[in-house]
Structure 1
Amino acid sequence: MGKDSRRLYGRALSVLAGGVNSSVRAEPSPYPFFVEKGDGGEIVDVDGNRYTDYVMGYGPLLLGHDLPERVAGAVQSEVARGPMYGAPTEVEVELAEFVAEHVGSVETLRFVNSGTEATVSAVRLARGVTGRDKVVVMQGGYHGAQESTLVEGDAESPEPSTKGVPSSFARETLPVPFNDEGTVERVFEEHGDEIACVLVEPVLGNNGVVHPVEGYHETLRSLCDEHGALLVFDEVITGFRVGGLGCAQSVVGVEPDLTTFGKIVGGGFPVGAIGGSAELVESFTPSGDVFQAGTFSGHPVTMSAGLETLRYAKDEDVYSHVNSLADELRAGMTDVLEDYAPEYTVVGVDSVFKTVFTRETPESLEGACVSGCEQRADCPRYGTCPKDAGDIDDAETERWKRLYWNGMLDEGVFLTPNGFESQFVCYAHDDEDIDETVAAYERVVSSV
């Protein structure tokens, strides 16, 4: 950080709420750095400082900041034709066909403009087709800035998690702990005929990176089937990053009724989507009676960027590259923790990673997961690794934020600025980036 970032933040405070357009961007204190440009797997701030970037726009940039020529060309060609039309274009059909071809649960889609809009629309659709109002969500899960999920507490006493959300909205939301089969079973016993859907990330991605324990999603699938509710997978973070083109649902082995997408499916441009069976998704207007519309939905520039990004990922074996680098990174981080902080837990899957500053050390680390927590019942960490958002909250999140994050930034490594949100490896990263990051990680962890 430097004087130019400080100057820009001063200007921003005069005209933007809190000086930013998304709350998390206000970090670090006392002022954030302002980015001038991206460069491959790095970003450069307005003061000329370079950082290895693992935020990747909070997930959308699978390929990194420099778009391959064919992707950039597709975007530029679309822009040259015109900004947008308020009428259908072929490219939105092509992107829908690509997603439907590769994601097993998806036959039909509706494109929108953000992950939040996707989950809002999915919840409305579930309520519309079931005629029910209640929604089961995971405590600490994040499904965008929507009234139905900005709720805290438990199923007995849900409350709004922010001012501006009416208590009447919260009463229709039933928060349960992730990976707790007993609690969700009891909630269905009490409210089964009132529940429209269960909204869940296949892997918690916005509150640590928490894998499902064996059988958890199968339990959700069974309960929804038994009680006539819909199972909705929020794959805004995991979609086209975990599980490759098949998304995380192909890894957990459970097929949802609806899936929400965002981030990568737009190739770095604003996007969201709801996908599922034709029978369900056709319930949106104009073919059905659940209203949904948007001026910028299916924006041709976004559709082109998303389509060419996914085609490139398929043709160039992008997933093997990013996943192997992330495995290498998580393994290196795990080795460092054995020496300096064996109580901490490395988590992640495919190209997603995080260190959670958990507080308990197993008696032995023999046979432990070597490249991120997998929720293996035979792992010595199984009793201490995070199982839900509450376990993440109980970690040393202030140490992570105040010491570790700033220490890594001083080393030239840009991470998401709290102990909750995920980090990402991109196609532009290489082995040298990983080696340098692990070395920086050791210097910082050994001192915090």
Structure 2
Amino acid sequence: MNHDNSRELYDRALSVLPGGVNSAVRAAVEPYPFFVQKGDNGHVIDADGNRYVDWVMGLGPLLLGHNLPEPVQAGIQQKASEGPMYGTPTEVEVDLAEFVVRHVPSVEKIRFVNSGTEATTSAVRLARGYTGRNKIVVNQGGYHGAQESTLVEGDAENPKPSSAGIPQSFAEHTIPVPFNDEEAVRDVFEKHGDDVAAVLTEPILGNYGIVHPEDGYHEFLREITEEHGSLLVFDEVITGFRVGGLGCAQSEFDVTPDLTTFGKIIGGGFPVGAIGGRAEIIEQFAPSGPVFQAGTFSGHPVTMAAGLETLQFAAENDVYAHVDGLGDRLRDGLEDIVADQAPEYTVAGTASMFKVIFTRDGEAPTNAADVKNAETDRWRRIFWGQMKDRGIYLSQNQFECQFVSYGHTDEDVERTLEAYKEAL
């Protein structure tokens, strides 16, 4: 493949953008990322005209693929043609809110914001404001956006910032524990239960190679938070409207959190975030309560239209049957390939999410440490490039999830499985 234009664009970008990118993960590919010119159903075409089957799907939000169905595109274009934004409420944000409230078990009221990071930041502030407590329990390897309260690593005894620019005093209010470790959570509540505002968790770890909860783990979190008067917050920025369909992962696991954060699909590929949950908690947001939260672009009419049209189309056109069916075919095919060629690796995922994790023992990971101990360098430095050379675009590292869209086809699946056979 020729990549002259991408190389030239990256050279220009290095002069004006830190690291040549606007989000750090995009620079994970070496020696430089390819620049995309446009999307086409389940494919992307780069600046040099190379075509790839795209399993990244914008890191998740493109449930319908790159070519939006006509009614979805028409709804977005109509709103865009009426004016970019107004600084006052519009009907479409109410319509989208009503749709989410009807379908997601935990959501009685919702506040729209502009990104997943903004959603989780606001959720943490809301949990602290509602409970009058300070500490937040998170899972090691979980990702809750680029915010001070969750960019924390270490363990319950020694939390520390995972980024420069965050004071240690911030990290002291965040308690990291291993995913699926009930004993570690019990220890935290025994020591700090009176000051734990919330447990913040992804239903499925989606930024660390896809790690599934063990049976009973989320039920345990629900019970222990209720026992101690803390909130259970599900970060469904990745799993929302992918796992469990319109009911999200919480309906799949039959566990109802107090708060849920959203992003990705709820905006149909446009910048968005949201916090939903029990009415008495969401009502603590200003202006009805004392927890300040605001944003000039929150509830942006074009984004609200994109989200509403996307979710309505999904509800009316068997979108989940299509994407989940292709996801099953991918995982089944990958299981066969891995069993034959790399039995030490494992296949993870559910619904329209999938990933081959380069584990060393064939055991499915149960926490972030298991994924970190996998052959992450081999995945990124060798395997990713081999797949790209075969026209398959996978997530930029071992940790990011991969996604199926409505724009993908059976042929895309078969082509991808053949590429895995050759690259592994």
- TM-score tier by shorter-chain length is over 0.9
Deviates more, 1:304-313 or 1:204-213: 204-213
TM-score, scaled to structure 2: 0.99
Q: Once the 2 structures are TM-superposed, how far is the Cα of residue 222 of structure 1 from its aligned partner? A: 0.8
CA deviations over 1:379-426 (Å, ceiling 9, x no partner): xxxxx2100001000111111111111111111000111110100000
Is 2:146 the counterpart of 1:167?
A: no
Q: Secondary structure at the match of 2:287?
A: coil
Give the distance between the partners of 1:254 and 1:282, measured in 2 at CA. Answer: 22
Query: How many angstroms apart in 2 are the aligned matches of 1:28 and 1:213?
Result: 32
- Match of 2:385? 406
Equivalent residue, structure 2, for 1:257: 258
Displacement of 1:27 in angstroms is 3.4
Could you list the per-position Cα deviations for residues 2-44 of structure 1 after superposition, in whole angstroms to 9, with x for gaps in the alignment? 1111111111111111111001111321111111000000000
3-state SS of the aligned residue for 1:224?
A: helix
User: Which position in structure 2 is the counterpart of 1:369?
Assistant: none
Measure, in 2, the Cα distance between the counterparts of 1:338 and 1:345. 9
Output the CA distance in 2 between the equivalents of 1:170 and 1:109.
28
Q: Name the counterpart of 2:156.
A: 155
Paired amino acid for 1:125: L
In the aligned structure 1, how far is the partner of 2:380 from the partner of 2:30?
10
* Corresponding residue number in structure 2 for 1:295: 296
**What is the 5 A alignment of 1:193-212?**
193-212=194-213
How far residue 176 of structure 1 moved from its aligned partner, in angstroms, is 0.2
- Give the 5 Å matches for 1:119-268: 119-268=120-269
Deviations 1:222-265 (A, max 9, x none): 11001110000000000001100000000111100000000000
- Residue 292 of structure 2 aligns to a residue whose secondary structure is coil
What SS does the corresponding residue of 1:436 show, helix, strand or coil?
helix
- 8 Å contact from structure 2 (residues 154, 160) kept in 1: yes
TM-score (norm. length: structure 1): 0.94
By how many angstroms is 1:183 displaced?
0.7
Matches within 5 A, 1:40-439: 40-361=41-362, 384-439=363-418
Q: Is the 8 Å Cα contact of residues 30 and 381 (structure 2) preserved in structure 1? A: no
- Provide the C-alpha distance between the structure 2 equivalents of 1:26 and 1:395, rounded to a whole number of angstroms: 21
Aligned AA (1:432):
E
In structure 2, the residue corresponding to 1:30 is in which secondary structure?
coil
Amino acid at match of 1:349: T
Identical-pair percentage? 66
CA distance in structure 2 between the aligned counterparts of 1:385 and 1:264, rounded to whole angstroms:
27
1:441 aligns with 2:424: no
Say which SS state the counterpart of residue 145 (structure 1) adopts: coil
Distance 1:140 1:25 in 2: 19
Kept after mapping to 1: 8 A contact 2:38/2:45: yes
Question: Which one-letter code corresponds to 2:210 in the other structure?
Answer: V
254-263 vs 9-18, greater mean Cα deviation: 9-18
Once residues 277 and 261 of structure 2 are traced to their aligned partners in structure 1, the CA distance between those partners, rounded to angstroms, is: 9
Q: What count of residue pairs does the alignment treat as equivalent?
A: 423
Matches of 1:407 and 1:429, distance apart in 2: 21
Distance in 2 (alpha carbons) for counterparts of 1:164 and 1:406? 33
2:242 maps to amino acid: R
Write the distance in 1 (CA, Å) between the matches of 2:153 and 2:132: 24
CA distance in 2 between partners of 1:360 and 1:179 (Å) = 19
Q: CA deviation at 1:178?
A: 0.3
SS, match of residue 248 in structure 1: helix
Counterpart of 1:441, as a letter, is: Y
Please report the RMSD computed on the Cα atoms of aligned residues, expressed in angstroms: 0.6
- Find the aligned partners of 2:78 and 2:115 in 1 and give their Cα distance: 23
SS in structure 2 opposite 1:247?
A: helix
Q: Name segments (4+ residues, structure 1) moved above 6 Å.
A: none
Residue 425 of structure 1 aligns with an amino acid whose one-letter code is V
> What's the counterpart of residue 374 of structure 1?
none
C-alpha deviation, 1:311, in angstroms:
0.2
Structure 1: runs of 5+ lacking an equivalent: 362-383
Does the 8 Å CA contact 2:358/2:379 hold for their aligned counterparts? yes
Q: Give a deviation string over 1:334-369, Cα, whole Å, max 9, x none.
A: 1001111011000001000001111114xxxxxxxx
Taking the aligned partners of 1:139 and 1:24, their CA distance within structure 2 comes to 19
Give CA-to-partner distance per residue, 1:201-225, whole Å, 9 cap, x none.
0011110111110110111111100
